[in-house]
Amino acid sequence: MQIVTENLSYVYSPKSKDMAVRALKNVNLTINEGDFFGIIGHTGSGKSTFVQHLNGLIKIQKGNGKILIGDYDLTDKKCDFKSLRSKVGMVFQYPEHQLFAETVFDDVAFGIKNFFPQLKDDELKSAVATAIETVGLNVNAIKDKSPFELSGGQKRRVAIAGVIATRPEILVLDEPVAGLDPKGKKEFIKLLHDLHNSFVKTIIIVSHDMNLVAENCNRICVFSGGEVVQVGTPKQVFLSAEKIKDLGLELPVTAYLTERLKEEKGVIVDNDFTENSFVTAVKKALKGGEND
């Protein structure tokens, strides 16, 4: 399913003169099926408000634009939001804070029961088991534990299992690696790619981490003041370095390192702001800096 937003705007507390906040302004954005899409931008730029529209958690205000997701027209009064939510999974920042059930099994089962109440007991069990295994946990070892007994990384995986249990086509994650240590972060990103190679067709991540989006996303957009100010491949977006800095954002660290090698050793590489470009630049520098 493709996501198309047209002139999407949003105002918090629209009726209050003093409190009204224009969080989104005329956002026109297309996210294609198959994208591993990154959303970056300063705090308060509208990223979370935007993604919460995508499964109808925030309803489009009258006259404030359109969203089409596959055949779902989110402005249509007859739009089936329940069905939409089973296809567009939403993982909030610190999803482990939303675990609530007595056992891991019950937590993961909650969403499936809600979306597919007609499932038989054994079908439910098997769906829960599949979801838990998909996020890389051992079902029998974990299903009867309290979510509160688990490690931070395990909790986050359980929370994701609850979301992917309905096999969403689109998975939206708001700051998915916030608070994880480097190892946890790496494993988590691998999980996202595994899901993307499996039934999740489109992944959308909101992130402060420029390295993360440079390494993993095929397309990214930059929010600023509620508007989308840039969209393209990470390379296209980060090449306009001045613009990124003007928006108060950092470039991926590889951008600075590769630039330093250019200044000091005269090494020129086709920089796409990934670790690979940097490694290529280092190899050239070690060979004496001459460009071949």
Applying CB under 6 A, which part among 44-52, 61-69, 127-135, 271-279 lies near ligand ADP?
Answer: 44-52
Which of ligand ADP, Mg ion, none interacts with 200 (beta carbon under 5 to 8 A by kind)? none
What are the residues whose beta carbons fall under 8 Å from the beta carbon of 111, sequence distance 6 or more?
A: 162, 163, 165, 166
Which of ligand ADP, Mg ion, none interacts with 9 (beta carbon under 5 to 8 A by kind)? none
| Structure tokens that stand for 15 in this block | 């009726």
CB 87 within 8 A of CB 2: no
Q: Is 265 in the site for ligand ADP (CB under 6 A)?
A: no
Q: Output the CA torsion sign for 14, 18, 23, 26.
A: positive
| Structure tokens that stand for 125 in this block | 């069990």
Q: For Mg ion, which residue of 48, 154, 216, 254 counts as binding (CB under 5 A)? A: 48
Question: Quick one: 44 or 184, whose CB is closer to ligand ADP?
Answer: 44
Q: Is 12 in the site for ligand ADP (CB under 6 A)?
A: yes
Which of Mg ion, ligand ADP, none interacts with 64 (beta carbon under 5 to 8 A by kind)? none
Q: Is 207 in the site for Mg ion (CB under 5 A)?
A: no
Q: Is 21 in the site for ligand ADP (CB under 6 A)?
A: yes
Distance in Å, CB of 44 to Mg ion, minimum: 8
The whole-angstrom separation of Cα 189 and Cα 34 is 16
Helix, strand, coil percentages in the chain from 3-state DSSP, rounded to 5: 40, 20, 40
Amino acid (1-letter code) at residue 82? K
Applying the rule CB under 6 A, the residues between 24 and 43 that interact with ligand ADP are: 41, 43
40 φ/ψ angles, rounded to the nearest 5 degrees: -120, 165
Q: For ligand ADP, which residue of 44, 184, 232, 289 counts as binding (CB under 6 A)? A: 44
Q: For ligand ADP, which residue of 3, 8, 23, 84 counts as binding (CB under 6 A)? A: 23
Distance in Å, CB of 165 to ligand ADP, minimum: 26
Q: Is 15 in the site for ligand ADP (CB under 6 A)?
A: no
Q: For ligand ADP, which residue of 38, 46, 56, 162 counts as binding (CB under 6 A)? A: 46
Q: Is 47 in the site for ligand ADP (CB under 6 A)?
A: yes
What are the residues whose beta carbons fall under 8 Å from the beta carbon of 3, sequence distance 6 or more?
A: 29, 30, 31, 54, 67, 68, 69, 170, 202
Question: Quick one: 48 or 216, whose CB is closer to Mg ion?
Answer: 48
Q: Is 281 in the site for ligand ADP (CB under 6 A)?
A: no
Closest CA to 101 of 116, 117, 113, 83: 113
Applying CB under 5 A, which part among 41-49, 73-81, 220-228, 231-239 lies near Mg ion?
Answer: 41-49
Task: Name the pairing type of β-strands 72-73 and 66-69.
Answer: antiparallel
Q: For ligand ADP, which residue of 5, 9, 49, 154 counts as binding (CB under 6 A)? A: 49
Q: How is the beta sheet containing 202-206 ordered, strand by strand? A: 88-91, 170-174, 202-206, 36-41, 219-224, 227-232
Distance in Å, CB of 262 to Mg ion, minimum: 35
Instruction: Write the CA distances from 124 to 80, 121, 156, integer angstroms.
Output: 23, 5, 21
Distance in Å, CB of 123 to Mg ion, minimum: 36
Binding site for ligand ADP (CB under 6 A): 12, 21, 23, 41, 43-49
